[in-house]
Structure formats: structure tokens, C-alpha cells
Amino acid sequence: MPGIELFGPEEKKEVQDVLDTSIFFRYNHDAQRNNHWKARDFESEVKKLTGAKYAHAVSSGSTAVACALAAAGIGAGDEVIVPPFTYIASVEAVLFCGGLPVFAEIDESLCLSPEGIRKAITPKTKAIMLVHMCGQMARMDEIMNIVREHNLTLIEDAGQAFAASYKGTYTGLFGKTGCYSFDFFKIATAAEGGVMVTNDEQCYKNADSYSDHGHDHIGNNRGMENHPIIGFNYRISELHAAVGAAQTRKVPQIREINRKYKKRMMEQLGQVPGVSFAHIPDPAGDSATFLNLLLPDTATAKKTVDLFNQNGIGGFNYWFINMYHFINQWDHLKNLKTAAPLPIHLLGAPQDYNNLQLPKSQEVVGRLISFGIRCSWKEEELEQLIGKIKASLEKALGVHAHA
């Protein structure tokens, strides 16, 4: 959890600015706020880091995904290709906008594969919800070729990949719209928050109105603003945005440390025969928030997890059994258990979610163990952790590391 590891006087100062004025609302109240506009500052920092033309801060990464879909025009009855390995919000957002999720295969990049996308395309496919997982990025050249070839709308959920890039372009900026999460567990946190990004002016205007009951935010009298579209309340507070702005300024420093530590871990753990790592399409653009180990098979991965637990090694995720990141545990979604009917109940699901055939995804996630990288590790802590991980891997695999 790199962001909160560096929480300090910078964040406290930004929050105190808001407390001193008591203006927690991101719009209007110009005279009382003493020129403090924290949501605007937050958006400015995200644009500065990523190069996005437009950024719009909202209440969470999940609502940022919802805004990204709506702003790009994705809605009722649209088939949207989604991954089976993601934080479930990516799929929930498709369902709640009225879309119909179509699950496709991932590969060793941990993201939707070009091959998986091609196989999932139907005449009804409207969009791809591409999720950049575990700090990395997808195989963008091949995926963008598919997007252009089939005239599809690309929406990017880079909730776990803020500050990652592919060949100089930041995740979130390849598609029509993209988004980042700034929850408690991300490289930068706003406590709770998210940001939608786009290079399309109309998409930005759509998101700006959609996230605030349709307001156009023109003029200084909120009660007299026009409403070009229907919207809902996904606003971020000035308190959350204040934290997000301060945290985003620290991301280049965090990323630099992450990359140094991840490189060291890969160099040493890669000496263990049978251990490999998730494919990073552009290693130079890795945000390095996770070290993603791949074991030879699921059985060995499970054995390794048991040894990690026995040896007191923490800070890792075995996603294969995780309740909210992998489709195997999503019984409520597979059976479409909802509080009230959604469009998918009326239109019908495009796949039998209880009988999906995704062998590559099952194989990859079954082999995957991810360690969160902490920028606050001391040198001796990191070396001790590497030693413990290496010993457990050697025992699980029945090998000795190369000298």
C-alpha cells in the first residue's frame, strides 16, 4: 500500500486548507473557500502525470468506471467484453449501465489477451472493458488493432495501474475513456476516490454532468444551472480530493522505489528453477506495485501458498481463491442475484456464466501469486523477505536456486 506509507505533513496541510474554510463541496462557494479548489488540484495533478487532456475526479474507482462507460456512450443492451480476472467492480459497472458482459480469456500479462478478445467478438459486441491488472499493462498494439478493425469502443479500467504506461502512453489513454482508483490500497490514495480520464472533450463533458445529477456547472448559481443529460451523484468531496492531490504528487517517487525493489526481487527469485513472472508488455512502463510470480501449475502454487503461511510470510495474494477478484468465486454474478431487476434479466445473458470455458484464465490465475511491493521497506527487511520467499519456493519446487 505505497500511498499511505508516505502519508505525512503534505496531506495534512491540504486537508487543513479545507477544514479552515469548511467548504467540503467541490463546486461554487467561491467567496468562502479562500481560493482552495482541491478537486481541481487533484485533477490537475493526474493530468500532469499522465498527459491526459481531461480528468474528472469522482467518489471512487468504481464510480469512475461507471462514468467512463456512460461518457463513452455504453449502455442498455450493449455487449461488452470483460475479463474474468479483475476487481469485480469492472463487471458490476457494465451490468449497472445496462450492458451485457461477455467474458474472454486473459494471458500471462494478467489482462485480456488479443486472442481472447477476438474469440469473444460477436456481431453485437459494442465495447471492450480492458482492465490493466496488478500494476502492469495489456498488449496494447495488438488490442488497438482489434479495436480499429472491428470499430469497437475501448474503455480502460486502470484502477490497479495508475502511473503505468505502454510505449510512452499511460494506461487509461488508449481508449475512448479510462479511469483510475485512489482507494486505500492503491499507489496513491484519496482514502476513497477515483478519476476518469479522456482525450475527448465531449466524453469529459458527459462525465462532468453525469456524475453530478446532470448539472452543466456553468455560472455561479447552482440552483439555476442547466442539465444537458440525466445524471446521478458520484461527486468527490474536497476532503478526499485534498488527500488525492498530495498523494499524486508523490507517485513518481513511489514508482521509482517500487521499480528498484521489484527488479531486485525478480533477479533473486528468478534464480529458483521453475519460477517465472507475469509478462510485462513494456517493462519500462511498469508501475511496479506488484511482484507477480508464476509457478509451474496450480498444485505447486497452492503448495507454495501453504508454505508462505506456515513460514509467516504475508503481503501476498493468491487470486485463484480470492472472493472478489476471480470469477470462480462470483456465484452471485454467475447467477445474477440482484436486489432489483437489471436490463440483463430482461434481455438475457449473452453467455451461460455458470458454464464458461476459460481454460487459459484458469491456468494463469491458478499459477499466480502476487506480492504487494512496499516503498517503505528498509534494505534489511527486503533482503529477509526475499530470503524467506526463496526458501519457501525451493521447498515447494524441490529445487535449489542457481548461484
Comparing CA positions, the residue from 111, 184, 185, 125 lying closest to residue 153 is 125
- DSSP SS3 for 212: strand
Answer yes or no: is pLDDT of 30 > 70: yes
Report the amino acid identity of residue 259.
Answer: R
Q: Give the rounded percent of residues in the chain with a pLDDT score beyond 90.
A: 98
The residues carrying an active-site annotation are 186
Q: Write down the mean pLDDT value for the chain.
A: 97
Residue 317: what pLDDT? 97
- DSSP SS3 for 96: helix
Comparing CA positions, the residue from 325, 316, 320, 329 lying closest to residue 300 is 320
Give domain limits for the chain: 2-250, 252-397
Q: How many CB atoms lie within 10 A of CB 73?
A: 15
Residue 402: what pLDDT? 77
Three cell numbers written together for 246: 498530495
Answer yes or no: is pLDDT of 3 > 80: no
Q: How many CB atoms lie within 10 A of CB 297?
A: 13
Cβ burial, residue 276 (10 Å; 0-12/13-18/19+): middle
Average pLDDT score over residue span 208-235: 97
Average pLDDT score over residue span 161-172: 98
Check: CB of residue 305 under 8 Å from CB of residue 367.
no
Answer yes or no: is pLDDT of 2 > 80: no
Comparing CA positions, the residue from 399, 320, 331 lying closest to residue 364 is 320
Whole-angstrom distance, CA of residue 178 vs CA of residue 280: 20
Residue 63: what pLDDT? 98
Average pLDDT score over residue span 105-130: 98
Residue 1: what pLDDT? 61
Could you report the per-residue pLDDT of 47-70, keeping only the tens digit for each? Answer: 999 999 999 999 999 999 999 999
Whole-angstrom distance, CA of residue 234 vs CA of residue 71: 13
Residue 403: what pLDDT? 65
Burial of 100-138, coded b for 16+ CB within 10 Å and e otherwise, reads bbbbbbbbbbbbbbbebbbebbeeebbbbbbbbbbbbbb
Q: What are the backbone dihedrals phi and psi of residue 127, each rounded to the nearest 5 degrees, phi first? A: -150, 165
Bridge partners, residue 180, by sequence: 195
Q: What are the backbone dihedrals phi and psi of residue 57, each rounded to the nearest 5 degrees, phi first? A: -85, 140
Three cell numbers written together for 281: 508488455
Check: CB of residue 71 under 8 Å from CB of residue 55.
no
Eight-state DSSP code of residue 236: P
How far, CA to CA in Å, does 136 sit from each of 331, 370, 375?
27, 12, 17
Answer yes or no: is pLDDT of 151 > 70: yes
Answer yes or no: is pLDDT of 330 > 90: yes
Residue 177: what pLDDT? 98
What is the topology classification, in CATH, of domain 2-250? Aspartate Aminotransferase; domain 2 (3.40.640)
Residue 304: what pLDDT? 98
Three cell numbers written together for 82: 470483460
Residue 74: what pLDDT? 98
Could you report the per-residue pLDDT of 174-188, keeping only the tens digit for each? Answer: 999 999 999 999 999
Residue 368: what pLDDT? 98
Could you report the per-residue pLDDT of 332-378, keeping only the tens digit for each? Answer: 999 999 999 999 999 999 999 999 999 999 999 999 999 999 999 99
For domain 252-397, give its CATH number from 3.90.1150.10, 3.40.1380.20, 3.40.50.300, 3.30.420.40. Answer: 3.90.1150.10
Could you report the per-residue pLDDT of 273-317, keeping only the tens digit for each? Answer: 999 999 999 999 999 999 999 999 999 999 999 999 999 999 999
